[in-house]
Chain A
């Protein structure tokens, strides 16, 4: 038994708690440990929903000892939901992976960062060498070769990431993708809100919601459409409660009587996948009925400037492509024609919403809400077969009543961000660059490729390297496709997994790189959240083990691929950014060439560069304390040149960790409607062929004529299956599994109506088997009047190999559709058809 190394060495320094009582007795040192010096660090939550609630973290001796809401944050008002509160469990989970690992056969062994990064970069270098060696490419620069890449070559490197990383990490990922011509891949936002964002871009150019959630206080009529904020975003939910307390009427439309719906003034159950039809029904009423259903509600601008047909014209008027006002009129006429078929009786047959309620809803929007009508567009609207058109129709209702550009109006969605490409944070985030859609009839996408499409490419042998983050196998809508693809890549390609935790995806990887958790990484948020600001967040605690920040990992890979010792080569490849030449919204900080030092100096270097350039581009000076919050004058100056509707800091706001008073830069404020040169335009005719008809597509849910609410038990698939989001799902999605959250809030069970359960002989707590055309799972049932007898609700994303007992295997992801919205390819994972039976 021989030692060849020493584990402890003498030190003169006395650190940690002992330092506070240097030279004191052992007992007093231990007393000091028991009562440590606590430092409160300002932070913001970066978990899942994108609201970035203000958060204070108490740190003692480098450890988290307490977490609480930041009371001065004007959005979160001192509140944190369970996701924000359990950040300790996230950072200190015993399921963290703390060291790089490499696969050896069916096993893994711990390795060094140098070993891992060197091997990964070597693979990328060989792809690069092979491209350069092809005939006709001799002597060309990488940039020139990039322009010649075939579609198949662009698929060789696939980078999945999660949007909850710091902006600086995303910058590096984006640039490395660019260097290989790789398509960006969806983050989680696409799966839950991709149809919403596309719909909004198609109408008004903004990628996300138009009004901040604090603005809900000014709303008169709030429609919570297929979202369950009371559970999933309770911090934002408080603003709905406040609005209701102030007299606003809250209406919930959902396939399931969610906790939010149960708190609403009016709950409207709806048949899955038919929200677009209901929206067109409302438009039909607004175009054709008046009070009480006896005549036209809509008047001209001459009679009612707040609620006018011309308000919709105003939205489309600036577009030169469609011929100014005449063109706009034509587009609105198309909309009217599209809505013509959706009279209330037809809508009732399609949606199960009684015709009288369709009329009542439209009437109340027009008379109670008017411009102060706010729509909260939940994930259930977006993650459905008709997501794109349903969201377009819904948002056009707001246009009809003039609720865009109005305080208390507008649309709200999952994302905490406002998609203003002029914000300096956009400069760090590749998502804002114009790409064009991933396919011809998806012009409102940002070029991101659906992961399910990449699965097909993988099986065709086109993908050589996958960088995966988050637990794709259990969190993406199509678990089957990902399992098959990852199994293929395990044998024929290279999988690099970058993550915090053990999960099913990691188990396929050849290399596993430990990622720093949220509080262990410094940087700015890629989008503006509750502060409406480009917000820098210091590292709150040191990284545990050998975990590293996203930015660091990608920077190190980049250096190794593009000649670590040659700043010129690195600069050319990673500091050069190809953007569309007609992308006119590129201020200076988004220009192609960034100095090499910008990257060399780490996350803060990028942030400082972007910030400085952003200010310079706006003609201002760099403020001395720029790191929290835009100043009033800056935001106002932008408002003058196009307009933003966003609460902003008061003029006296000096910066700091807390945001600002709610205030609008103009009164009432105008949203920024982008011009047509970015393909973001209302073009009702071309993309309206389904017109919100419940386009219940393909094999999983094709029953457009099955409008009866009765169950035909002789059918193979007699029931609808819906799904929803859970806290555990949100956490797992973002590469940050947090078992503590699941333990606290989750009860995984199938919701089934008691009448249906009785027919099947099921009682509360029974184990049942749900089968869809894609597979079967077993899960306990919970009898609930919250769901229609013809609908069962199966929770998603709680399966895979999550480390929490009871969360293995069953998940809606094994049952849901292969197919997505026909325009966007976004999977309609929140709906399907199924049968259910008791497990003996």
Chain B
């Protein structure tokens, strides 16, 4: 458990922890874990704080899955584990394999803006991109995005939800509505598909576990909005 773990069950503290979890999960999907993060994972420091760990059955199961993955990795050593996770990240989200899971919302949510248009199949840069750009802009933030990812990347959406749950985000005039939009209208709509595809492609893997964890938290959170 991290140093940020709390000992109180106040709603404010819960929001803070949930926000930190979103931010952590967001970063986990945005980039491969570095050496320190891999060591933290292997040392059991990547677990959710207790207050969130029992949010719902999916989160509990995800925690168990992550522990299982950690046990599998125990004999590899940090450097090999770092390489293996980087390779899994590429295989799932970057390429060059034909079978992979798109980390972008618009690939999972069909474009319904033009009912007359022929079904073009899932595409990058769909309508969710300008919407997310607008939500970021309304919040007065911009993503740190050195790899120029489309703005509906799972990592950016999760981290944005995390920012909205931070003290700064909660004080924003439209913070609550922005949170309802990003979690309820976006993440809750497509992360189920995203998580399921990862489970199918890389069952009971590191990314399957954190995808289930993200989904569990989103489901839990969406129920409170």
State the A residues within 8 Å of B (CB): 1-19, 26, 29-30, 32-34, 36, 60-61, 63-64, 88-89, 91-99, 101, 104, 107-110, 497, 502-503, 506-507, 509, 512, 542-546, 739-740, 743-744, 801-803
Q: A63-B125, A739-B121 are in contact. Are A1 and B83 (CB under 8 A)?
A: no
Query: Is B78 interfacial (CB-CB < 8 Å)?
Result: no
Q: By the criterion CB–CB under 8 Å, are B141 and A93 in contact?
A: no
Question: Nearest chain-B residue to A803 (Cβ)?
Answer: B98
Q: By the criterion CB–CB under 8 Å, are B125 and A544 in contact?
A: yes
Q: 1/0 contact trace for B121-160 toward A, CB 8 Å?
A: 1111110011101101110111110011110000110011
Q: By the criterion CB–CB under 8 Å, are B98 and A801 in contact?
A: yes
Which interface class (under 10, 10 to 19, 20 to 34, 35 or more) fits B? 35 or more
- Interchain CA distance A92-B111 in the complex, whole Å: 13
Q: By the criterion CB–CB under 8 Å, are A92 and B123 in contact?
A: yes
Q: 1/0 contact trace for B169-183 toward A, CB 8 Å?
A: 000001001100000
Query: Is B73 interfacial (CB-CB < 8 Å)?
Result: no
Question: Nearest chain-A residue to B46 (Cβ)?
Answer: A1
Q: By the criterion CB–CB under 8 Å, are A8 and B141 in contact?
A: yes
Question: Residue A8 contacts which of B21, B32, B47, B159 (CB distance < 8 angstroms)?
Answer: B159
Q: By the criterion CB–CB under 8 Å, are B48 and A1 in contact?
A: yes
Contacts of A503 in B (CB 8 A): 96
Q: By the criterion CB–CB under 8 Å, are B138 and A26 in contact?
A: yes
Query: Is B4 interfacial (CB-CB < 8 Å)?
Result: yes
- Interchain CA distance A94-B48 in the complex, whole Å: 32
26 pairs, CB–CB < 8 Å, chain A vs chain B: A1-B24, A1-B47, A2-B2, A3-B27, A7-B27, A7-B144, A8-B159, A10-B140, A18-B138, A26-B174, A26-B178, A29-B137, A36-B130, A61-B130, A97-B95, A97-B96, A99-B94, A101-B95, A107-B91, A109-B89, A497-B96, A502-B100, A507-B96, A544-B148, A546-B148, A803-B98
Query: Is B30 interfacial (CB-CB < 8 Å)?
Result: yes
Q: By the criterion CB–CB under 8 Å, are A7 and B159 in contact?
A: yes
Contacts of B3 in A (CB 8 A): 2
Q: Which residues of B in the span 28-46 have a Cβ within 8 Å of any Cβ on A?
A: 30, 32, 36-37, 40, 45-46
Q: By the criterion CB–CB under 8 Å, are B123 and A94 in contact?
A: yes
Contacts of B216 in A (CB 8 A): none
CB distance from B156 to the nearest CB of A (A): 7
Question: Nearest chain-B residue to A739 (Cβ)?
Answer: B121
Question: Nearest chain-B residue to A497 (Cβ)?
Answer: B96
CB distance from B28 to the nearest CB of A (A): 10
- Interchain CA distance A631-B170 in the complex, whole Å: 62
Of residues B94, B129, B141, B156, which shows the largest number of chain A Cβ atoms within 10 Å of its Cβ? B94
Q: Which residues of B in the span 53-100 have a Cβ within 8 Å of any Cβ on A?
A: 83, 86-87, 89-91, 94-98, 100
Q: By the criterion CB–CB under 8 Å, are A88 and B120 in contact?
A: yes
Q: By the criterion CB–CB under 8 Å, are A108 and B20 in contact?
A: no
- Interchain CA distance A96-B24 in the complex, whole Å: 26
Those 8 A-B pairs whose CB atoms lie nearest each other, nearest first: A7-B159, A18-B137, A107-B87, A506-B96, A92-B123, A109-B86, A92-B124, A8-B141
Q: By the criterion CB–CB under 8 Å, are B130 and A60 in contact?
A: yes
Question: Nearest chain-A residue to B121 (Cβ)?
Answer: A740
- Interchain CA distance A7-B169 in the complex, whole Å: 13
Q: A26-B178, A108-B96 are in contact. Are A3 and B23 (CB under 8 A)?
A: yes
Query: Is B187 interfacial (CB-CB < 8 Å)?
Result: no
CB distance from A323 to the nearest CB of B (A): 58
Query: Is B205 interfacial (CB-CB < 8 Å)?
Result: no
Query: Is B107 interfacial (CB-CB < 8 Å)?
Result: yes
Query: Is B118 interfacial (CB-CB < 8 Å)?
Result: yes
- Interchain CA distance A69-B86 in the complex, whole Å: 43
- Interchain CA distance A739-B121 in the complex, whole Å: 9
- Interchain CA distance A9-B94 in the complex, whole Å: 25
Q: By the criterion CB–CB under 8 Å, are A17 and B150 in contact?
A: no
Contacts of B91 in A (CB 8 A): 107-108
- Interchain CA distance A8-B96 in the complex, whole Å: 29
Contacts of B160 in A (CB 8 A): 7-8
CB distance from A112 to the nearest CB of B (A): 9
Q: By the criterion CB–CB under 8 Å, are A512 and B144 in contact?
A: no
- Interchain CA distance A743-B83 in the complex, whole Å: 37
Q: By the criterion CB–CB under 8 Å, are A104 and B87 in contact?
A: yes
Other CB < 8 Å A-B pairs besides A1-B2, A61-B133, A97-B95, 15 of them?
A: A1-B47, A9-B142, A11-B141, A15-B137, A33-B130, A93-B123, A94-B104, A98-B94, A98-B149, A108-B94, A110-B89, A506-B96, A544-B150, A740-B120, A801-B98
- Interchain CA distance A7-B30 in the complex, whole Å: 9
Question: Nearest chain-B residue to A508 (Cβ)?
Answer: B96
Q: By the criterion CB–CB under 8 Å, are B159 and A502 in contact?
A: no
